Structure 1
Amino acid sequence: MKEKNTVIGFIGTGVMGKSMAGNLLKAGYEVHVYTRSKEKAEELIGKGAKWASTPREIAQQTNVIISMVGYPSDVEEIYLGEQGLIECAKEGTLLIDMTTSTPSLAMKIAGEARKKGLEALDAPVSGGDVGARDGNLTIMVGGDPAAFETVRPILECMGSNIVHQGPEGSGQHTKMCNQIAIASNMIGVTEAISYATRAGLDPEKVLQSISSGSAGSWSLSNLVPRMVKGDFDPGFYIKHFIKDMKIALDEVEKMGWDAPGLTLSKSLYDGLAEAGEENSGTQALYKHYN
């Protein structure tokens, strides 16, 4: 949709959103940004983004709107509030929520949007701060297939693995699969590197051996080096990972089964959050063992 009349609104310029919006600017799109703290958008404004003081202003000035915020409650407020996007957006606007949120909320937003002559996609992402920076995020999309094809060129500015998963809510369900896989994997990679340290091994050499074998994973290759260096800055906040795991566990309960690996992982991260690590990156699980 690299058309002259495409004007993108971007809501949420945090750790990942800032880079994602920056890649849209780099691709030549006109981008209007809104975040609760204008200070977080200053870098983007310096690169040519236009500031909007409210989501309503975004809705009035753009025809494709992307959100990348923190919690489902934020998504609900932005889309379904009295001054929300669905109430204020121009007919024909395409809405893309890239926040990890609940499947049920994604379905509700899509239904309400359609009543107003809008289309809404749920398109959560994976890849962390590095993937956002490099424009090679994995993007999991739910919603109308025609709307997806319309915005695919926009998504391609932010991601390299972009899959339409099915109707509204499917993107969020797929992201839950992603988070469930990561949850148990984070325990495994952290215990492995902690074992290496206690055995008197050089963890970097251990990583060199096991990261390219059958034990290899994104978390092992990208997060263990941060653990070893004592770098616990957030590529993805613990508080947001806990939020995601809670959503997944709620969905698991609705399905009538249990997920013991996910339950254990959430309990470990809950403990870290209670110890004041909620704003650290997920690799801070290393602190539980050391």
Structure 2
Amino acid sequence: MKPIQRSRWRLAAGICYYRLKRYGDWLFDQKQYARKREKELFEHVHFRHQTPLLRRLKNVEMWMQHNKVTNLRLAVQRLDGIVIQPKETFSYWKLIGKPTKSKGYLPGMLLSHGRVTAGIGGGLCQLSNLLFWMTIHTPLTITERHRHSYDVFPDANRTQPFGSGATCFYNYMDLQITNETKQTYQLHLYVTQTHLVGEWRSSMPATRRYEIVEKDHAIQPSLWGGYERKNRLYRNVYSIDGEWQQEEWVTDNHALLMYEPLLPDGKEG
């Protein structure tokens, strides 16, 4: 996993190629993409989660996070109420569209090759992280997810397992969710003064609940220098009455550490 150094022009050409490829996929593939929105909320909440809007992170100026809140509010407006019917696929970027200055998006925090930078629409990974975490607690199927290639911040105050999110970058690093069940699901999102909040809802009550567990976690020195971190995520599936049914693999994660792994808990240098 030694980082590959590419020229600015090589990176720009790669982005152009993969964006055009994604546009072609949206036009010509055989997927049925979710488009319908319902203002009235479905009755049953299958899973709910929230994440704080503002966190103090090393080497991240707070103005980036305040701008991120604006960006999240704009993206939430595009996704709130989206309904995924059986056989339909939810595409994160197809629904949000390209975040641009003309649409009101502001410069926010972006992670580029493990380094913090600012860019228009920055901070929307918090929303894709939330959606991934929520979805793996439902019968919906993640059909496209991109893992974070770099672990940038230490685990201080982390409440979820490493690798339990999904990175995003318009438009080719997409998050896609397919409804392979027989019931319809609705996404409900909103932003409070302090948190980003999401729910997966349905007109029918849940028949299962899920517990995410981490296995084979390791932080190891790499041959080229630095450290690599890896793990596997699984989920335990229970009946609504609490009876264990089965264990299911969710994903494997592998990332480069961008901090000193031997610091005491809560110390960021």
TM-score range, shorter chain: under 0.3
More relative contact order, 1 or 2 (CA 8 Å, 6+ apart) = 2
Structure in which a larger fraction of residues adopt strand: 2
